[in-house]
Chain A
Amino acid sequence: MRIPDTKENLWKNFDEVRADLKPKEVMEEVSRCLFCYDAPCTKACPTNINVPSFIKKIASGNMKGAAHVIMEANPMGATCARVCPTEELCEGACVLNDASLPIMIGDLQRHATNWAMKNHEPLFQPGKPNGKTVAIVGSGPAGLSAARELARYGFKVTVYEKKDKAGGLDTYGIVPFRLPQAISLWEVEQVESLGVAIHTNTEVGKDVQVETLMNDFDAVVLAVGMSDVPLLGIPGEDLDGVHDAIQFIEKVKDGHLTDRFIGKRAAVIGAGNTAIDAATCLKRLGAANVSMVYRRSEAEMTAYPFEYAFAKQDGIEFRWLTQPKSFIDDGLGHVARMECVRMKLGEIDASGRRRPEKVKNSEFYMDIDVVVKATGQVRYTSLIEAFGLENDHGIVKVNPETYQTSNPKVYAAGDVIFGNGSGEAMVVAAAEQGKKTARAIQEQMLSRI
C-alpha cells in the first residue's frame, strides 16, 4: 500500500491485496496435494467442496471440471476462494499441516474459478421446469445460492433485491482489496444465466408487498441478511464525520472513492472483521492515523487472527479497553474530538466473555476528524414481523434441518438466522444454508406432488 496524496492514485490501494498464483506456483501446489481419501479438507468445508478432486483436475489440465466441482458445491466458490477463513477451515484441516505446509487450497480454488470467469463456459443448466415458483428476498450469498439450486431443480425463481446491484454482502460489504466487486457480480450472472429473475431496486415491504409474495409464490425464502450498524446512543452521533461502517464500506466497494480522508485522524469503534475492514479502508483512503477503539481487550476481539495481523501490517493502532462516551464538534457541526472512558474486564457475561466495566474518573479525549462505527448490525425486525415469523430479537427461528420458519411456506437462510451460538457468519456458511434450503424446498414440494 502506498500513501495516497491525490484522488487519482487512491485506486491503486484498492487492488486485490493477494495476487493470483502464478502458473508455476499452481503446478507446484497441485503436485504437492496428496489426494487424500475421505479428505479432512472436504469435511472441514461448510459446503463440502471435494477439494482433492478439484486439485487433481487442475493438475490434469481439466480446468472446466475443476471449476465445476467447486461451483457445484458452492455457488459462491469464487468469492469464498478469496474471503473464506481457510486456515480455520480446509487449510487448517490439511493433513500436511503435520508433515510440512498445508496446501494453498483457497488460492487454488481462486485459480480454478478465475479460469471459469475468464472462459465464460456455462457450468450449469436449469432443470426441467416443475411448475413451482419461489420468491427469494435478498440476493446475498444465501439467497443466490438458494436461487441457483432451485433453478437447477426446475423451479421458477424470482429474487428481490432492494439495492442497485445483486450480490448482497459480497457485492457491497467485503472490502474490494479482499474481494473485487466483479467477482460477486460474476456469481450473480451465473445464477441469472439459469433463468433466475433478479429484481433489483425492489424492496419487499415497500415496492412489493409481503402479501403479494405470500399469495403469488409456492414458497418464499427470506435471505435479507442484516442491516446497518446500531446507534451507539451517545451524544454527537449525528455530527458530520461520524459514519456507519456498513454504509462506508458499501460506498468504497461501489467505487465511490473520496479524497476527503487524506491526512485525517480516524477512529473505528469496534474490533470485529467489519471494523478491521473499515480501518484498513480508511488507511487506504489516505487517513494519517487510524485507531481501533474497543471496549474489551485483544483476547475478546472477534476479528479473525489473519484480519488482525493484516490490520497491524497496515499500521492500524489499537485502543483496547476504551469506550467512546461522546463526540464533540468543532463548532461547525463536524466531529473534532471523542470523549472516551477506560474500561476493565469483570465477570463472564452472556456472550461467554468477560464483561467490560467503566473505570471511574478515567475519561480522556482523543482528537479525531473521522469516526466509523462498527459495533455489529441491526436486524430487519419489522420485515420479519411483517412476514409474521417467530424470531428472537430479529433472529428468525428455523428448523435446523429444513430452514423452515414458523410459517411452513417461508424459509430463511443466511445472516437473518445467524445469532449467538448458531455457527459462524461466513459467506460459505450462508451459501451452504441456501443450498440446504433449496434442497428442503425441493424435497417438500416433491413429496406433495
Chain B
Amino acid sequence: MADLSINFAGIKSMNPFWLASGPPTNSGYQVQRAFEAGWGGAVWKTLGDPIVNVTSRFSALHYNGQRVAGFNNIELITDRPLDVNLREIAETKKKFPKQVIIASLMVEPVQEKWHEIVKKVEDVGVDGLELNFGCPHGMAERGMGSASGQVPELVEKQTSWAKEAAETPVIVKLTPNITDITATAYAASQGGADAISLINTINSLMGIDLDTWNTIPNVAGKGTHGGYCGPAVKPIALSMVGECARQTDSNIPISGIGGIGTWRDAAEFMLMGATGLQVCTAAMHHGFRIVEDMIDGLNNYLDEKGLASVMDLVGRSVPKYRDWGDLDLNHRVVARINQDQCIHCNKCHIACEDGAHQCIEMYTDKNGKPALKVREEDCVGCNLCSIVCPVDGAIDMIEKPGEEPMTWNERQALLNTL
C-alpha cells in the first residue's frame, strides 16, 4: 500500500482526490456524503453574494451511444445564503476534521469585499481558499469570474487583496478561456498565490434542437453559453496544466481539474505536474462512489511501479513535455499490421487512403483471404491507422533505426553556423 497523502501548498490531504467547486459541493449534506465515500477534500460551491439561478441548467454531449462525453452548465455560484453555507461548513469540518474543506470565493473586484469574505470563511475553519476567476457564464457579465480571470492585472490585484486577509493558503482557479494560461498563472503567483488550480470550464454551446431550433439547454426558448467540462476537456486541461508546470520561473503547486474520472486520469495529471486533483463531472454522472476505484486503482498502480508515495509521481512527465522545436526530426516509426490480430474491417486502409499517406494496401493472400499490408517506405508514422483500428494489438507502431537525432532548434542553430 503506497502513501496517497499529499501536501498541497501546505494543505495536508489524506489523498489527492478533492471534489471541485460545483453542484456536488453545494451543501453540507453532499460534502459529508462525499467524505464518507472517501474523498480527501472538497472545494465548497463558490460563496459570494447570493444569486438567482435559472432552470434548466445542464446539458451534455452524448457520443455514439455513450452518455456525457462532455458536459455543460449555466448554473451560477451558490444560491444559498452565506450564513447557511458557513454553518454547514463548520458542521462538516467538525464531523470530518481530517478531510480538507476549501472555500471557493467570488466577489466583486473590491479590496474590502475580498477582506470581508476571507475573514468570514476562515472563521469557520476552512483549510484554504480558492479564488474563482474562472466561471465563464453569468457572473462574468457582472465583472466577476472569468471576466476577472482574463485580465492578468485583475488576477494579480485580487489575489493580493485576498492574501492580505488570508491566514490559510490561497489557490487561484484559472479560466481556460484565454490565449495563454501561463500569463494568468504568472499573475496569480505575482499576487502571492500559494497555488493555482486549473482548468475552470470552457465557453461552450452544447447544441441546437433540430425540431424547435432552440439552443441546448434552453431557458424559455433562449440560451446562453455555458461552461464545458467532463471527459472531452481532459486533453485541453492536461495541456494547460503542463504549460503551467513547465514554466521555469515558477514552481507554484497545481491542482489539476478537467475531465478526471478515473485513477488513470488522476495519475496522468499528477505526472504532468499536478499535486492535487479536483473532480466534478464524473461525480455528477456516477455519484461519489467513484472515488473508491480512484483510490484503489492509484494504489495498485503505485505498488506496481514500486513507488512508496503518490508524491513521487508529481511532475515526472513535465520534462518530457516540450516545444515542438525540441523534437527529434530524425526519429522514425512505421505502422505494422499483425495479421493474426487483424479482423479485416479495413478501417486502417480507408483512413490512410483518404486521411493520410496512402500506404496501406488491401490484397488477397496466398490462401485467398483478404489481408492488409503497410508499405513501410511510404509510411510517415502518423498513427492514424492504429488510432482507427478497433482491435488492440492489431497495429503496432514500430521504431525504425533513423539517423543521428537532431531537433529543429539544433538544425536551425547548425544552419546559422554555416
Contact = CB atoms under 8 A, between A and B. Distances in A.
Given A28-B65, A95-B344, A99-B390, 9 more contacts: A30-B65, A31-B65, A31-B66, A34-B345, A37-B347, A38-B346, A38-B349, A95-B343, A95-B345
A34 B65 contact: no
Contacts of A37: 345-347, 349-350
A313 to B, nearest CB: 31
Interface in A10-53: 27-28, 30-31, 34-40
26 contacts: A27-B65, A31-B65, A31-B66, A34-B347, A34-B390, A35-B347, A36-B344, A36-B345, A36-B346, A36-B347, A37-B345, A37-B346, A37-B349, A37-B350, A38-B346, A38-B349, A39-B345, A39-B346, A40-B344, A59-B64, A95-B343, A95-B344, A95-B345, A96-B343, A99-B343, A99-B390
Interface of A: 27-28, 30-31, 34-40, 59, 95-96, 98-99
A98 B394 CA distance: 12
Nearest to B350: A37
Contacts of A95: 343-345
B213 to A, nearest CB: 16
B391 interface: yes
Nearest to A40: B344
A369 B375 CA distance: 71
Contacts of B66: 31
Contacts of B64: 31, 59
A119 to B, nearest CB: 16
Contacts of B165: none
A99 to B, nearest CB: 5
B362 interface: yes
A299 B362 CA distance: 38
Contacts of B65: 27-28, 30-31
Contacts of A98: 343
Contacts of B390: 34, 99
B392 to A, nearest CB: 10
Interface string B359-402: 00010000000000000000000000000001100000000000
A59 B64 CA distance: 8
Contacts of A35: 347
A278 to B, nearest CB: 40
A40 B342 CA distance: 14
Nearest to A26: B65
Contacts of B349: 37-38
Nearest to A59: B64
Contacts of A59: 64
Nearest to B64: A31
A28 B362 CA distance: 30
Contacts of B343: 95-96, 98-99
Interface of B: 64-66, 343-347, 349-350, 362, 390-391
A63 to B, nearest CB: 14
A172 B347 CA distance: 43
Nearest to A32: B65
A40 B346 CA distance: 10
Closest 3 CB pairs of A and B: A31-B65, A37-B350, A37-B346
B64 to A, nearest CB: 4
A30 B65 CA distance: 8
Nearest to A36: B345
Contacts of A28: 65
A28 B66 CA distance: 9
A98 B345 CA distance: 11
Contacts of A34: 345, 347, 390
Contacts of B391: 99
B324 to A, nearest CB: 32
Contacts of B346: 36-39
B161 to A, nearest CB: 51
A40 B369 CA distance: 12
Q: Which among B65, B349, B362 has the greatest number of chain A C-beta atoms within 10 A?
A: B65
A28 B64 CA distance: 8
A108 to B, nearest CB: 13
A96 B345 CA distance: 9
A57 to B, nearest CB: 14
Nearest to B210: A61
A95 B65 CA distance: 21
A41 to B, nearest CB: 11
A36 B372 CA distance: 13
Contacts of A99: 343, 390-391
A276 B66 CA distance: 41
A38 B361 CA distance: 13
A366 to B, nearest CB: 49
A36 B350 CA distance: 9
A240 to B, nearest CB: 56
A107 B216 CA distance: 32
A28 B65 CA distance: 6
A36 B390 CA distance: 10
A446 B164 CA distance: 92
A30 B64 CA distance: 8
B52 to A, nearest CB: 36
Q: Which among B64, B345, B350 has the greatest number of chain A C-beta atoms within 10 A?
A: B345
A157 to B, nearest CB: 39
A21 to B, nearest CB: 13
A350 B367 CA distance: 30
Nearest to B391: A99
A173 B343 CA distance: 38
Q: Which among A28, A36, A37, A98 has the greatest number of chain B C-beta atoms within 10 A?
A: A37
B362 A38 contact: yes
Contacts of A36: 344-347
A31 B65 CA distance: 6
Contacts of A30: 65
Contacts of A39: 345-346
A34 B362 CA distance: 18
A38 B363 CA distance: 12
B117 to A, nearest CB: 47
Nearest to A29: B65
A70 B344 CA distance: 23
Nearest to B394: A99
A229 B350 CA distance: 51
Contacts of B362: 38
A34 B388 CA distance: 10
Contacts of A38: 346, 349, 362
A39 B349 CA distance: 12
A35 B391 CA distance: 14
A40 B343 CA distance: 11
A278 B343 CA distance: 40
Contacts of A40: 344
A37 B370 CA distance: 12
A96 to B, nearest CB: 7
A37 B361 CA distance: 13
Nearest to B388: A34
